[in-house]
Amino acid sequence: MTFPAPLSRRIFTAAVLCSAAFAAGAQDKYPSKPITVVVPQAAGGANDAIARVVAQKLSEQLGQSVIVDNRPGAGGTLATGATARARNDGYTLLLTADSAHVIGPALYKNPGFDPVKDFAPVAPVATAGYVLVAHPSFPANTVAEMVALAKASPGKYSIASAGNGTLNHLIGEMLQKAAGIQLQHIPYKGSAAAATDVVGGQVPLSVQSLPSAIAFIKAGKLKVLGVVNEKRVAALPDAPTIGETIKGFGQAPWYALFAPAGTPAPIVAQLQAEVARALEHKDVVDKLATVGCEPFKGTAAQLAALVQSDLPKWSRVVKDTGATVD
């Protein structure tokens, strides 16, 4: 038999328990501080543009700052590896492109991360239009004319990319193989730098994301030879796809949100729901469209399946094209 504690002690104990419960509830509420979204590419590219549009809307929805942290280098593998090792508490996320997440591991012997084991898929976010662009003075105006020029003078013409191992580098390699031509690859530190030098006439050609190139295209400072995507893009409805000239050529680059492996399932589920909610907003859709991108809606499970299917596909592409990061 036990005796009841004195009233004052019972009141004190109840107060302590209530305070503890309140503190635990406050601690469990997510997010309770700013969230960092790591972008493993430089500012000015498709990944950066998409991240900033989505981060702004997530910040509004969650009531917390969502900070975009650009960390370019090594085709995105350095930042991806660092994010994999970050605390899995939901406050460090990765918004990345297929180039860094599923292509990088095929290009680098030691990318510094496992795209399946080291990450919890959150949600697909967007797809982007990609284009083969040229300086206005370049003598070809179509893909067919460019191929004819390149075949007549192998290695004479150069093509700029955002850097070794980036998506536009690999697409350029795929284009050369599919067309049977040889171009000189000039890697830059980011898409913006590559586009700027094509505009300046230092390099005649580049594969660019529409977020990087659309302003230059509209200003007449770059001309579009062909669209990389499998279908024509809404932002440039009159521009033909490369596949209309080179049968079977076409890619659909994607961008998605990931968290470090071990991030609590309720947080992942909350983030997935918030991304889905953000992509329903007209202002988000419109902002993405202005830079040649479209929402890519899906679940964490669908994103996981996409990663699993793309890994062997891109491994074959890397092997077939002979692309390297050297």
pLDDT at 51 (0 to 100): 96
Q: Which two tokens stand for residue 106?
A: 């095929």
Regarding whether 176 and 77 lie in a shared domain, the answer is no
Given phi > 0 = left and psi -120 to 50 = alpha, else beta, which region is 292? left
pLDDT at 7 (0 to 100): 44
Q: Is residue 102 part of a domain?
A: yes
Q: Is residue 141 part of a domain?
A: yes
User: Within the chain, which residues score under 70 in pLDDT?
Assistant: 1-28, 324, 326
- Strand locations in 176-326, DSSP E? 184-187, 205-209, 223-227, 254-260, 293-295
Task: For 107-158, write each residue's pLDDT tens digit.
Answer: 888 899 999 999 999 999 999 899 999 999 999 999 999 999 999 999 999 9
pLDDT at 28 (0 to 100): 65
Regarding whether 292 and 266 lie in a shared domain, the answer is yes
Regarding whether 263 and 122 lie in a shared domain, the answer is yes
pLDDT at 305 (0 to 100): 96
Q: Rounded to 5 degrees, what are φ and ψ at 143?
A: -60, -45
Regarding whether 284 and 135 lie in a shared domain, the answer is no
According to DSSP, the β-strands at 223-227 and 130-134 are: antiparallel
Its sign, for the CA torsion 299, 301, 305, 310, is positive
Residue with tokens 């990663």: 307
Cis peptide before 31 (omega within 30 of 0): yes
Distance between CA 118 and CA 262 in Å, rounded? 8
Question: Cβ of 99: how many Cβ atoms within 10 Å?
Answer: 28
Strand partners, 94: 38, 258
Regarding whether 134 and 123 lie in a shared domain, the answer is no
pLDDT at 13 (0 to 100): 47
Which pTM does this prediction carry? 0.76
Cα–Cα distances in angstroms (integers) from residue 140 to residues 85, 160, 204, 223, in the given order: 47, 17, 10, 10
- Provide the domain limits for residue 45: 33-128+253-321
Task: For 300-324, write each residue's pLDDT tens digit.
Answer: 999 999 999 999 988 888 887 777 6
Report the b/e string of 136-158 with b at 16+ CB within 10 A: eebebeebbebbebbeeeeeebb
pLDDT at 9 (0 to 100): 47
